[in-house]
């Protein structure tokens, strides 16, 4: 973010909880634990949709950092792309190479090559297994490629609303007719666009009295609708918008501003990318079933994966940042 841009610290807390939810679903699904009940049958599987929340928050966050500068021609497009590459490529590249070393094959080599370009999100139906959760990064990077175009769309409010409606229709058409899924930018663009729409109306939205209470109630209603009525992408879109608005409106003493959540939120992207590698390590170490109770096994496995991913992400990011700093100095 630029120096004169307001920082919304609570959004780090929202990213953190979304990241925890995604780790919960992936550990349960891949560990094949025999756990049942509403929480495990309904709640945890729904956490996979937190990737859409990430998209909405990412759309808002990138606008906070670059929308005005690109719109007012205060930043060169080349600098924007360089910053995006340097922010995500080193850590992701290291993960890809580690994944390849753990499971080497010719197919993996092809996939590592595609991953290292960061443009693999342009490949239709790629189904890349090397850092399989990296599909999200592929979609996000296509969004980065498109961001200057999104600045154009958002720069006029009538055009912005028209484009937002078109993106919602494109999501529907992509899913029902073209049979695409969340890995396609055509399907997912409405979530990024929603973040941009919130950005251009942020000043008006922040003036809403008792906004945090109203947005929290709206989130509760949307959650009930999701589980009781309809769980399609449009519901996740509305959920993401209200979650973003709630994060923008809460005070400094809110739980989402807690230092632990802000810390995790700051490395949530790295934790997301590496957590399945940590899961494989836990699995190979035969730590998934330490007891005779699968509920306890699931909890222990989740804690091992989450803590392991946090440590790996934090240390790995520190090392890579230091190395990149040395390279820049030279």
The pLDDT score that the predictor gives to residue 291 is 96
CA distance linking residue 5 with residue 218, whole number of Å: 27
In sequence order, what are the residues at sequence separation of 6 or more whose Cβ sits closer than 8 angstroms to the Cβ of residue 94? Answer: 316, 320
- The answer to whether residue 3 sits within a structural domain is no
CA distance linking residue 311 with residue 26, whole number of Å: 18
- The answer to whether residue 2 sits within a structural domain is no
List the one residue out of 115, 26, 129, 92 whose CA is nearest residue 270.
Answer: 92
CA distance linking residue 301 with residue 315, whole number of Å: 21
Q: What is the DSSP letter of 209?
A: T
Q: Which domain holds residue 33?
A: 10-329
- The answer to whether residue 1 sits within a structural domain is no
The pLDDT score that the predictor gives to residue 6 is 77
- The answer to whether residue 5 sits within a structural domain is no
How confident is the chain (330 residues) per 10-residue block, as mean pLDDT?
A: 67 95 98 96 96 98 96 94 93 96 96 97 92 96 97 98 98 95 96 98 94 96 96 97 95 82 95 97 97 97 98 96 81
141 contacts 88 by C-beta, under 8 angstroms: yes
Helix (H, G, I), strand (E, B) or coil at 289: coil
List the one residue out of 114, 2, 145, 106 whose CA is nearest residue 63.
Answer: 2
- The answer to whether residue 4 sits within a structural domain is no
Match 């290292």 to its residue by tokens: 116
The pLDDT score that the predictor gives to residue 5 is 64
Query: Exposed, middle or buried by CB within 10 Å (0-12, 13-18, 19+), for 255?
Result: exposed
- The answer to whether residue 275 sits within a structural domain is yes
User: How many domains, the chain?
Assistant: 1
CA distance linking residue 187 with residue 179, whole number of Å: 10
CA distance linking residue 110 with residue 132, whole number of Å: 14
- The answer to whether residue 100 sits within a structural domain is yes
The pLDDT score that the predictor gives to residue 4 is 47
The pLDDT score that the predictor gives to residue 1 is 44
């Amino acid at each position: 973010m630029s120096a004169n841009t307001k920082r919304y610290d609570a959004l780090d807390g929202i990213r953190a909880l979304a990241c925890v939810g995604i780790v919960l679903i992936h550990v349960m699904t891949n560990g094949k634990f025999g756990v049942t009940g509403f929480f495990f049958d309904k709640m945890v599987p729904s956490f996979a949709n937190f990737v859409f929340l990430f998209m909405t928050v990412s759309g808002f966050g990138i606008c906070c950092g670059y929308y005005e500068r690109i719109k007012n021609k205060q930043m060169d497009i080349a600098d924007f792309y360089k910053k995006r590459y340097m922010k995500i490529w080193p850590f992701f590249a290291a993960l890809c190479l580690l994944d390849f070393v753990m499971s080497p094959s010719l197919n993996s080599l092809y996939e590592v090559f595609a991953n290292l370009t960061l443009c693999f999100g342009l490949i239709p139906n790629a189904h890349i297994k090397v850092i399989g959760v990296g599909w999200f990064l592929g979609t996000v990077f296509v969004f980065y490629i498109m961001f200057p175009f999104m600045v154009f769309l958002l720069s006029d409010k009538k055009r912005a609303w028209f484009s937002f409606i078109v993106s919602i229709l494109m999501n529907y058409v992509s899913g029902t007719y073209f049979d695409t899924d969340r890995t396609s930018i055509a399907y997912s663009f409405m979530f990024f666009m929603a973040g941009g729409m919130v950005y251009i109306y942020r000043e008006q939205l922040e003036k809403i009295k008792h906004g945090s209470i109203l947005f929290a109630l709206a989130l509760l209603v949307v959650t009930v609708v999701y589980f009781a009525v309809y769980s399609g992408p449009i519901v996740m879109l509305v959920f993401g918008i209200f979650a973003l608005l709630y994060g923008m409106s809460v005070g400094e003493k809110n739980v989402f501003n807690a230092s632990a959540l802000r810390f995790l939120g700051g490395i949530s992207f790295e934790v997301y990318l590496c957590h399945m590698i940590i899961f494989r390590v836990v699995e190979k170490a035969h730590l998934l079933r330490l007891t005779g109770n699968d509920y306890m096994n699931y909890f222990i496995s989740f804690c091992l994966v989450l803590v392991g991913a946090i440590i790996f992400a934090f240390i790995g990011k520190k090392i890579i940042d230091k190395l990149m700093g040395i390279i820049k100095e030279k």
